[in-house]
Amino acid sequence: MTISQPTNQLLSGLPPSIRRKLLIRQEPMRLESSTALVELGDSIRHVYFPIDAVVSLLTAPSAENAALEVGLVGNEGMVGVWLLLGVDEAPLRALVQGSGLAWRVEAKTFRRALTRNRDVRATFNRYLYVQLVQLAQTAACTRFHIVESRLARSLLMTRDRVDSREFHVTQRVLAHVLGVRRAGVTRAASSLRRRKLIRYSRGDVEITDERGLERAACGCYAADKETYAGVIGRGRTREDRMRQ
């Protein structure tokens, strides 16, 4: 794997010279499942650009409820986008949901790239917008859509970020994602399994009918994809796209 050909879409949208400056002397590092990259309130020392890892963004647990996933980051984005707002304190917990590789960049190096190139900052500002829309979409989804549809959406989002129909995700993580007890996860997964849309056993997921699962998902899945394609894709010049 080379710096000139990172497999993170956000990095791929940057000019090669900027990528080299961000990733100089860097090698992809492995992120292990259930590892916290940053805790709520921690100072942000690094930003992460997943390659095939998946990271959940979680609210803080309350006395009444467990933590709830409000965002998911994979090879389409980055963890630590909050630095764009001039704040170096994490507003959410970033927990590795699926093991894999990621680029890690020091926060000061990332800030330096932002201040020296307006086009670079514009690229990351567009991603910040996408993530804010995702947060709002997830809030509405959790409130109004049934668990089965939300589970289908979550599995599809994970598929997109690991670029595979097969991956591992535990019931504990899915309970965070959906904001329900594990029994609720079991019922929703069993329903999708009976419809022959997925196979699910001890955390190992295989999507067996992708189109069927897309039909089973709530409209939030398609809305998320359209937002990313529209905002990020629109921000790239024709020359940028031809270089990829």
- pLDDT tens, 142-156? 889 999 999 999 999
pTM of this structure: 0.86
Confidence of residue 235 (pLDDT cuts 50, 70, 90): low
- What's the angle, vertex CA 240, arms to CA 83 and CA 49, rounded to 5? 35
Percent of the chain, pLDDT > 70?
Answer: 90
**Contacts (Cβ under 8 Å, ≥6 apart) of 97:** 33, 54, 55, 56, 72, 158, 169, 173
**How high is the mean pLDDT of the chain?**
88
73: β partners: 55
**pLDDT attached to residue 6:** 53
144-178 in b/e form (b: 16+ CB < 10 A) is ebebbbbbbbbbbbbbbbbeebebebbbebbbbbb
Q: What is the CA radius of gyration of the chain?
A: 18
Query: Which pLDDT belongs to residue 241?
Result: 40
